[in-house]
Amino acid sequence: MFKVHWIVFHILPILGFFLAVTLLVHQNRTQRSPSSTAAWLLAILLIPYLGVPAYLLFGGRKARRMTRTKPGLAVETKDTVERLVTQGVGSIFPVRCGNGVSLLPTGEKACAALFDLVEHAEKNIDIATFILGNDETGISVLAALTRRAKQGVHVRLLLDAIGSIRVSGKMLAPLLASGGQCAFFMPMMHLPFRGRANLRNHRKIVIVDNGTAMLGGMNIAREYMGTGGETRRWHDLSLIVKGPVVADLHQVFCSDWRFAAKQETAAENGPAPAGSGATIALQLVPSGPDVAGDPLYESILTALFKAENRVWIVTPYFVPDELLLKAMCIAAKRGVDVRIVVPRVSNHPLADLVRRSYLRQVQDSGATVFNFTPGMLHGKVILVDDSLSIVGSMNMDIRSFFLNYEVALFIYDESVVKDLGNWVTDLMSQSITGIRKANVFVEFLEGAARLLAPLL
């Protein structure tokens, strides 16, 4: 008994101390924001028996040793640099002209569009989603894919291993038996496991016959889309896109598929010709460990600094880093109409607690905060002036900008910006404005929660 106590009270603390020091050294060597570094330092030092394992599991940021088998996304285009500098967007893809865009402002319309795409596919269907629900929506979509696979359509389904953890082999068996394929992105049960839980594929992509695509914030589950009038369905937004930009989106999907399925893909076609009468200029901006730097974050930051008239942001979770928050505050102080629309109550109570101090800080700088009341709001939209709209899979939080694999579409078209503006205005009409001042106790809780914001 004496030896056991001696080991517990002497050897284990010493080992824990040296392990914590090792991780602290690693922290200083990684390219993290100061707030992220401080949060992990607090966790490792104050609660080492929880903080150390958590860092080993969740602490990876662009862990290249884990992702080196996934080739980085790249495009060989001579005029890319010049065009991107003109637009102020640091994507690997250039601006593509001659596209068509249709808004899917409800889950019912998005579901109908998805089934229509699947039903009319002639050659192939490629789908990537963070969540495939084990519910009537997910099962009905799987049934439709299974039927098309039996008819000879090449079906590939890419699921995130964490987001779609409820998907069982039994659910997928009919699709696989019919000739369809399925792969899981970054399974947790894999060695080395360091950081794997953090690097999630949050992209939502549907591509049919390499010519039509659907993207946005909706997962394939009952909360997001469905055929019936589900009263608890979340408010979300997706887009249907046709034209040259679809080839760029297909390149992103194929890169993710090669990594997850460990399969080579057929040679990808170049951008499709512009559609008849299609005039919209679009630019795809992916981000994640497979892209050098943080192009989506930097592009949004640049747009905030360039904004002259307005910046409207719709997001389910608002946990920006200090620089992004400062850019919003500066924009509001120099007279830009800054509006932030969030759900009054989201599905993550801790995120709601953390966001309050950030929203209050932006509000104190002159921005207006809208709390959407009818239910959960999951749309992700940014409008800058009357000439730029950004729609994608990213939330306005640190995880989306620095950890997840994400994709966003930059839309340079006043008519689409106007339509999106009408959609946002409708959300505002169903919202309560303002964030109330907090008492001392609530301010303390918000401050403590804000320390952990980079880890959410």
215, 381 Cβ separation under 8 angstroms: no
pLDDT in tens, 89-120: 678 999 999 999 999 999 999 999 999 999 99
CATH no. of 80-287: 3.30.870.10
The mean of the pLDDT values for the chain is 83
In this predicted structure, which of 73-82, 84-93, 336-345, 420-429 has the lowest mean pLDDT? 73-82
Residue 455 confidence (pLDDT): 58
pLDDT in tens, 169-227: 999 999 999 999 999 998 765 544 444 566 789 999 999 999 999 999 999 999 999 98
Q: State the fold for domain 295-403+410-455.
A: Endonuclease; Chain A (3.30.870)
CA distance 115 to 227: 10
Q: Is the pTM of this model over 0.95?
A: no
Name the band, by pLDDT with cuts 50, 70 and 90, for residue 16.
low
- Cα of first residue to Cα of last residue in the chain, in angstroms, is 41
Residue 448 confidence (pLDDT): 67
CA distance 394 to 412: 19
Q: Which candidate, 401, 400, 402, 379, places its Cα nearest to that of 391?
A: 379
132, 218 Cβ separation under 8 angstroms: no
Q: What is the mean pLDDT of residues 341-368?
A: 94
pLDDT at 259 over 70: yes
Quick one: DSSP state of residue 293?
A: S
Residue 26 confidence (pLDDT): 47
- Report CA-CA distances (Å) from 412 to 81, 100, 259, 425: 18, 12, 32, 20
Q: What is the mean pLDDT of residues 344-373?
A: 94
Is the Cα torsion angle 290, 295, 298, 304 positive or negative in sign?
negative
Side-chain-facing half-sphere of 445: CA atoms under 13 Å: 11
Q: Which candidate, 253, 256, 248, places its Cα nearest to that of 94?
A: 248
